[in-house]
Amino acid sequence: MHYHRPQNINILQELLQDTNREYTILAGGTDLMVEMRQKPLPAEAHILDISRVTEISSIKEENNQFILGALVTHQQLAESIAIQKYAPLLAVACRQVGSLQIRNRGTIGGNITNASPCADTVPPLIVLNAEVEILGPQGTRTAAIEDFFDKPYFPRIKPNEVVTRIRFKKLVPHQKSAFFKLGRRKALAISRINMAAILQVDENNIIKEVRLAPGSVFPAWKRVHEAEQFLTGKTANENNFNEAGRITSEEMIKISGRRWSTPYKEPVTAALVRRTLMLALEQE
Amino acid sequence: MNIIGKREKRVDALGKVTGAAKYADDYNLTHQLYGAVKYAEFPHAEILSVDISEAQKLPGVEAVMRAADVPGNNCFGLGGDIRILADDRTRYLGDVVAIVAAESKAIAQKAAELIHVEYRELPAVFDPEEALLPEAPQIHTNGNEIVHHKLRRGNIAKGFSEADFIIERDFTTQPIEHSYIEPEAALAEPDEQDGIKVIGSMQNFYTSHKVLAGALNLPLSKVQILQSTLGGSFGGKDESATMVAARAALLAQKTGRPVKMLNNREDSVRQSYKRHAYKLHYKWGCKGDGRIAAMEIKIIADGGAYTSMSPFVTWRSVVQAAGPYHCENIKTDVYAAFTNNNFTGAMRGFGSPQVNFAIESMMDELAERTARSPLEIRLLNGFETGSVTASGQKLKHKVSLKQVLKEAAKKSGFEEKWNVNREMEKDDGIPDDGKRNVRRGVGLSCAYRGVALGAEGVDAASAVVYVQPDGSLSIASGIIDMGQGAQTAMSQITAEVLGVSMERIRFLQPDTGRVADSGPTVASRGTIMGGGAVKIAAENIRFILEKTAREWFALNDEKLIFKEEQIFVESQTEGLKQLTEFDVLVAKCYAKGRPLFASGVRHIAETWWDEETGQGDAYFTYVYGANVAEVEVDMDTGKVDVVRFWSAHDVGRAINKGMVEGQIFGGVAMGMGYGLLEEFIQENGVAKTVNFDEYYIPTALDMPEMEALIIENPDEKGPFGAKSIGEPALEMAAPAIANAIFNATGKQIYNLPANLEEVLLGRKLRRNTPRASVSCKIGPVKYM
């Protein structure tokens, strides 16, 4: 097994230029170390430990944007005053990931690249219209987060590419947001369903814009445009949110068919849409 | 009393908090080899051949063993059917066909993969009810029925004819994992005289001792077992841990070198036995006034691949299946059946958590049907001193069922909360405010429990107390500490008898050569039996001390008091007068040629049982407890939060109040896991929940605010009146939670655990895997 630990982004890029290698990326190790215990890597594997690339380990604010280094941990995001203020749903999502130990190790870059269907940062990043910056042998490219995944566990990333940054616009005061996670217990729980929403209403309580993204509902992450279209221009109230929930569940069944989990997911997805939108509406 | 009841520091605390405590895997020897196992590849198959030639050739491999290479008995356990190494067949996927010892764990693992087994697949069965059908595949030679316990009391036909209405319900409970944090491990070492010494993580090391001696074909005296500090057990480190120790010992004997055998979590889950899944059918004939005229109960337990403790676990169920309630006419049948699932055996509760869930759910339905509160219905039907149990046993001790019920209800404000929630539950069902759609509920449960082994076996335990010449003490006991605090309890009892401080006492490592076979540390018998034995041993020492003191101070029959490291004489004229100090009296004894070394044996034999009718004095005494759970149910998602919990127990006497509370809090946590979260899932014999990322136990954050209500009615059978708390603490928590959900939602829970789907939909959801039934084969299965 080969192990590489670049000290800065330039060395990282040099390493990526060796296209004969298939890198396995190590950042916080919360997924990789567990997988390696279950199935050891082959002798010819190349581990690329990016944890010392300090250029991508902090939360930066530029004008009205956040630029998150891929190595920013869940705990950093949960504790960041700026994130709490300008992207509170992401702070809420990060606070509920795993346990403190996992939040201290696990990175946002890892969370999206591992692309587990229950990844808690993905729905918030989708409604935040985040862009992913990817470093490869030829330099960087960017992708909209919603286009970053084929399906869970399959991010659209090549073997010698690394996610380096995630950027999104700060929310402005009239953009309310919420994240809700349904797990089987209060910590160390894999999300059964999670839900992120951003909601903007005018002075008459009419919805100007709404973005809604559930997790573990569709085969691949996406916004629920059908529900969003229904809500836009309507009054923000419980009845309309209930209808948006019903539309979301209907959409789920349209895409995936009725499956073993549908009897539970159909009513609960609908209820969580209503709940998340209510939480957003009443956000302080 | 000076020390009994006090919150003394645990004798094992320092080692555990500093990391000095040595668990099984902390022991290593130079030149030790590492073991690995070759697992069964089918849940049910005939083994045609086991080719070990390639494995043997691998450099670094020192021994490969199959069943045929075991010099002594390969089979063990209550039914004599558990295989150390699978011989004729594999019966579940945790069976081990061959074992390897090699210079490193990696080599051993590699060698295990090079073992080739030729099988003939057999049809398998995974449902205990199906297993009892005549056409079911036969897992052993004498049919799939492991046991059928009967209890017949009165005449149920007459009882049902007198009933005003019938309540008839089916309940299911799930298999669960013990979740001891330390997986099984053992280090076996050949000794200087052809014997074998094993140090390991075993709960019942006397049982392990006999199994190992039998397998190694050695006399008991040539096998020594030392028990390392246990990282939890909960009834789980009996046969499963014995298998691991036996495999290490066999390889050590074969190679002449020390061998370490260590399970990782997946190994542990794959090999080990679980708590029995039960299917319970309860039919009660009830009177309009809330009394019960007849009970007909049928229970089928999944015993899995081997007999293990199924006969005893289900025996406790048959004794306690009717609960602590008056009923003249009872017919109970409890069956356990072999299947090709993981075998099932002892786990904290031992046949009571399953029946308590059914009984206490029935009781709440009876309350509902007769318009009484859950407290009223229990007080109406509950046992009192002098009541006669389902097995015809007259309860002569103080029966405190109503006392614990009232205490739990009073402290929790049960009646008022129950009424308020019940009115709320009849509400319109419209969400509270859209964000939160939560209903509150409180639930009550109670239970009685036979203390110790009862009529299932000989109940005797031994201990040795040694006061050394300088006045320091060592204690050895056949009852072991697996984290529950037995050593501390026994030390407090000794300190009380001899009037010394706890600091003087050192508890010795359990060793099969040190104290006579004391049976297993199970059935909540640690304090009552082990504590009883150590009390007798300490009293034997005190006898020598008193005799010496009387001679020395020319006393006759004046009362001597031992306390605060001193000896006093009590006289009517002068009151309490100090005679001497403990150390000085000890020195005097040794100077007179009277060593202070004594053993004690506690034996209680006041039980009997008739298998045909299920009548008899099942246990020599009983304990009583009541729980109240307060929950919040998310009506949108089925998520249940337990917010508060009250647990009242009559423990006879609390030897250490802090430890009793510890047992109660731990029991509530475990009972809550059973009630809401935990489920060992197998699909066609394949374990799906092999580690804690998928097998959910409650975390610290999930725990409610808990209140332990300790009630003391000293029992003449126990040391200083002490009885039990280990299993009572757990066994009625789940039904309290289930009844609280009923109070909140108006819907009863019939299947454990009450997880999201069960609460919202009233059933479990499963992936649609093709089900292997009696007629279909299963492909090879590989883990990970």
E strand or H helix at B49: strand B45-51
B309 and B346 part of one domain:
yes
pLDDT at B510: 92
Query: Which residues lie across from B177 on neighbouring strands?
Result: none
Query: E strands of B468-549, at which residues?
Result: 473-477, 505-507
Q: B637, A272: Cβ pair inside 8 Å?
A: yes
B530 and B491 part of one domain:
yes
CB B505 within 8 A of CB B11: yes
Given CA atoms A243, A248, A252, A255 in this order, what sign does their dihedral have? Answer: positive
Please state, in angstroms and rounded to a whole number, the distance separating the CA atoms of residues B305 and B95: 9
CA-based nearest residue in chain A for residue B673: A185
pLDDT at B431: 58
E strand or H helix at B534: helix B532-552
Q: B702, A186: Cβ pair inside 8 Å?
A: yes
Please give, rounded to a whole number of angstroms, the shortest distance from the CA of B638 to a CA of chain A: 9
Q: What amino acid occupies position B714?
A: P
For B102, phi then psi, to 5°, come to -145, 175
Helix locations, B265-396, DSSP H: 265-271, 310-320, 352-369, 374-381
B692 and B616 part of one domain:
yes
Per CATH, the number for A2-49 is 3.30.43
pLDDT at B778: 37
Chain B residues close to A282, C-beta within 8 Å: 435
Q: Which has the closest alpha carbon to A266: A276, A274, A258?
A: A258
Give the percent of chain A with pLDDT over 70. 100
> Is position B773 within any domain?
no
Interface residue of A193, A268, A278, A284 to substitute, partner B, most B CBs within 10 Å: A268
Q: Which two three-digit tokens encode residue B146?
A: 């492991």
B184 and B288 part of one domain:
no
Please state, in angstroms and rounded to a whole number, the distance separating the CA atoms of residues B739 and B418: 10
Please state, in angstroms and rounded to a whole number, the distance separating the CA atoms of residues A221 and B592: 86
pLDDT at B423: 84
Please give, rounded to a whole number of angstroms, the shortest distance from the CA of A259 to a CA of chain B: 9
Q: Which segments of chain A belong to CATH 3.30.465.10?
A: 55-169
Among all chains, which residue has been given the structure tokens 């731990």? B666
B213 and B339 part of one domain:
no
For A72-93, letters b (16+ CB in 10 Å) and e give bbbbbbbebeebeebbbbbbbb
Picking from B588, B603, B618, the residue at the C-terminal end of a domain is B603
> Is position B767 within any domain?
no
State the virtual CA torsion across B22, B239, B206, B522 in degrees, nearest 10.
90
Q: Which two three-digit tokens encode residue A266?
A: 């159909």
Chain B residues close to A272, C-beta within 8 Å: 636-637
B621 and B751 part of one domain:
yes
**Chain segment A63-84, per-residue pLDDT in tens:** 999 999 999 999 999 999 999 9
CB B15 within 8 A of CB B488: no
Q: B434, A190: Cβ pair inside 8 Å?
A: no
Given CA atoms B344, B346, B350, B353 in this order, what sign does their dihedral have? Answer: negative
Please state, in angstroms and rounded to a whole number, the distance separating the CA atoms of residues B523 and B529: 10
Q: What is the DSSP letter of B751?
A: B
B371 and B289 part of one domain:
yes
Q: A282, B435: Cβ pair inside 8 Å?
A: yes
Q: Is A268 on the interface with B (CB under 8 A)?
A: yes
> Is position B560 within any domain?
yes
Q: How far apart are the first and last CA of chain B?
A: 57
> Is position B617 within any domain?
yes
Q: Which has the closest alpha carbon to B348: B178, B489, B478, B230?
A: B178
Of the CA atoms within 13 Å of residue B167, those in its CB half-sphere come to 24
Positions in chain B whose pLDDT score sits under 50? 771-784
Please state, in angstroms and rounded to a whole number, the distance separating the CA atoms of residues A21 and B639: 47
CB B739 within 8 A of CB B362: no
Picking from B271, B306, B323, the residue at the C-terminal end of a domain is B271
pLDDT at B430: 55
Cα three-residue angle B754-B757-B763, rounded to 5 degrees: 80
Please give, rounded to a whole number of angstroms, the shortest distance from the CA of B508 to a CA of chain A: 37
Question: Under 8 Å CB-to-CB from B47, ≥6 apart: which residues?
Answer: B86, B87, B88, B89, B90, B97, B117, B118, B119
Query: Which residues lie across from B461 on neighbouring strands?
Result: B602
Q: A 53-112 residues with CB below 8 A of B?
A: 99
Q: Which has the closest alpha carbon to A98: A85, A88, A111, A89?
A: A111
Please state, in angstroms and rounded to a whole number, the distance separating the CA atoms of residues B276 and B301: 6
pLDDT at B194: 94
Q: Is A271 on the interface with B (CB under 8 A)?
A: yes
Q: Is A263 on the interface with B (CB under 8 A)?
A: yes
Taking each helix axis as running N to C, give the angle between helix B401-412 and helix B374-381, from 0 to 180 degrees, rounded to the nearest 10: 170
Q: A187, B431: Cβ pair inside 8 Å?
A: no
Structural domains counted in chain B: 3
B727 and B741 part of one domain:
yes
CB B724 within 8 A of CB B716: no
Q: Is the ipTM of this complex over 0.85?
A: yes
On the question of a cis peptide bond just before residue A155, with omega within 30 degrees of 0, the verdict is no
Picking from B271, B297, B326, the residue at the C-terminal end of a domain is B271
**What CATH class is the domain A55-169?**
alpha beta
Which of A187, A190, A241 has the CB atom closest to B434's CB atom?
A241
Please state, in angstroms and rounded to a whole number, the distance separating the CA atoms of residues B721 and B620: 14
> Is position B511 within any domain?
yes
> Is position B163 within any domain?
no
Kindly state the average pLDDT of the residues A217-225.
95
pLDDT at B780: 38
**What CATH class is the domain A175-281?**
alpha beta
Chain A residues close to B695, C-beta within 8 Å: none
Q: Which segments of chain A belong to CATH 3.30.390.50?
A: 175-281
Q: Which segments of chain A belong to CATH 3.30.43?
A: 2-49
B559 and B683 part of one domain:
no
Please state, in angstroms and rounded to a whole number, the distance separating the CA atoms of residues B216 and B231: 27
Domain that holds residue B337: 278-454+609-761
Chain A residues close to B768, C-beta within 8 Å: 260
B290 and B435 part of one domain:
yes
Query: E strands of B406-520, at which residues?
Result: 438-450, 460-467, 473-477, 505-507
> Is position B655 within any domain?
yes
CB B270 within 8 A of CB B690: yes
Pairing of strands A23-26, A46-49: parallel
Kindly state the average pLDDT of the residues A23-40.
92
Among all chains, which residue has been given the structure tokens 């009232």? B406
pLDDT at B670: 98
B346 and B408 part of one domain:
yes
Q: B636, A264: Cβ pair inside 8 Å?
A: no
Query: Which residues lie across from A168 on neighbouring strands?
Result: A66
B533 and B681 part of one domain:
no
Please give, rounded to a whole number of angstroms, the shortest distance from the CA of A255 to a CA of chain B: 18
For B530, phi then psi, to 5°, come to -65, -40
For B436-460, letters b (16+ CB in 10 Å) and e give ebbbbbbbbbbbbbbbbbbbbeebb
Largest CA distance in chain B: 88
Please state, in angstroms and rounded to a whole number, the distance separating the CA atoms of residues B566 and B16: 32
Please state, in angstroms and rounded to a whole number, the distance separating the CA atoms of residues B100 and B304: 26
> Is position B236 within any domain?
yes
Pairing of strands B330-338, B292-304: parallel
Please state, in angstroms and rounded to a whole number, the distance separating the CA atoms of residues B701 and A187: 7
Helix locations, B114-172, DSSP H: 128-131, 156-161
Q: Which two three-digit tokens encode residue B437?
A: 């759609």
Query: Which residues lie across from B320 on neighbouring strands?
Result: none
For B163, phi then psi, to 5°, come to -75, 150
Whichever domain contains B532, its CATH number is: 3.30.365.10
Among all chains, which residue has been given the structure tokens 């794959």? B270
**A245 band by pLDDT with thresholds 50, 70 and 90:** very high
E strand or H helix at B547: helix B532-552
Please state, in angstroms and rounded to a whole number, the distance separating the CA atoms of residues B354 and B341: 18
3-state per-residue secondary structure call for chain A: CEEECCCCHHHHHHHHCCCCCCEEEECCCCCHHHHHHHCCCCCCCEEEECCCCHHHCCEEEECCEEEEECCCEHHHHHHCHHHHHHCHHHHHHHHCCCCHHHHHHCEHHHHHHHCCCCCCCHHHHHHCCCEEEEEECCEEEEEEHHHCEEECCEECCCCCCEEEEEEEECCCCCEEEEEEEECCCCCCCCCCEEEEEEEEECCCCEEEEEEEEEECCCCCCCCCHHHHHHHCCCECCHHHHHHHHHHHHHHHHHHHCCCCCHHHHHHHHHHHHHHHHHHHHCCC
